[in-house]
Amino acid sequence: MRRLMPYIGEKCGIAAYIGDNAVEKVYLSLIALQHRGQESAGIVAWKNERFIEYKTHGLVQNVLRYIGKEKDGASPAIGHVRYSTYGGSSRVFIQPIRAKYRDLELYLAHNGTIPNAYFYRGDLASYGVRTVFDLDSGILAGYLAYSIWEYGLREAINSIFERFKASYAFIALIDGGDVLAAKDPYGIRPLSIAISNENGIAISSESCAFNAIMGKDQFYRELLPKESILIEHSGKVKILSEGNKDSERICVFEYVYFARPDSVISGVNVYRARVHMG
């Protein structure tokens, strides 16, 4: 029997920015999220109707050697720091992960573990989807690309909520420059959005990343379980599906040791939670 989980890692960090200096802002966000993943780092941005990709093993600072002047004017950008859950440490597994179906291409950054993702691998491959099928995040990306093309964005995200089990918070950069962010129906992994009139729109696994890139006028909130948000290339924000706070089952280990002490998870300051836990 094929072994689906070579080894279990801990957590990942994901981030996005829509606005000026997007690559730099995502880079700084990933630095703030470095504690969530030190195995690899990646940034993908949109510029001149094409994707720009920066990926490397190791720490976020290693990405700097690949970032050149082509980053100027690129927006949006998304990023990822990784500890392995499914898949190994090969460069092909470094996120954001690419998926393509027909003329639709996207990159996806995922935090979580989806045990039943492999049930959809065969069908997606037979449909002509191109992605990394040995990675649960790749299958999720491929399913998203296929479903958006065939059924539209709202139906695609609703289908993911129905079919994909367990934990996922993800950000997708879609061909054309739109950004999609979503949480699973139980909100197991954290994901937040911050909006500033001066500093654009940011998305991050933890609120600590906003302190590095957003101004004091920022409006910040956490995504609810089963909530999905689309940020268009123009910066317009659309709620695709409204979440349900009552179904939240946040992972307790976020408070124990995953999250940074200065972050706020589900409305609770992580440092204060640790003090109360002793």
Catalytic residue among 12, 63, 174, 182: 12
CB atoms within 10 A of CB 220: 15
Spatial CB neighbours of 260, under 8 Å, sequence gap ≥ 6: 32, 33, 35, 206, 208, 270
Angle at 63 between CA 30 and CA 192, to 5 degrees: 15
- What 3-state DSSP class applies to 256? helix
Q: Is 48 exposed, middle or buried (0-12, 13-18, 19+ CB in 10 A)?
A: exposed
CA distance 5 to 133: 13
Q: Report the DSSP beta bridge partners of residue 81.
A: 13, 41
CA distance 81 to 76: 18
The secondary structure of 137-156, three-state, reads HHHHHHHHHHHHHHHCHHHH
User: What is the helix (H) or strand (E) element at residue 42, kind and residue range?
Assistant: strand 40-47
Which spans in 206-245 are helix H? 210-213
Q: Give phi and psi for 193, each to the nearest 5.
A: -130, 140
- 197 token code pair: 């009139």
- 13 token code pair: 């960090």
Residue 4 DSSP one-character state: S
Catalytic-residue membership of 12: yes
CA distance 168 to 185: 9
Which residues are catalytically annotated?
A: 12
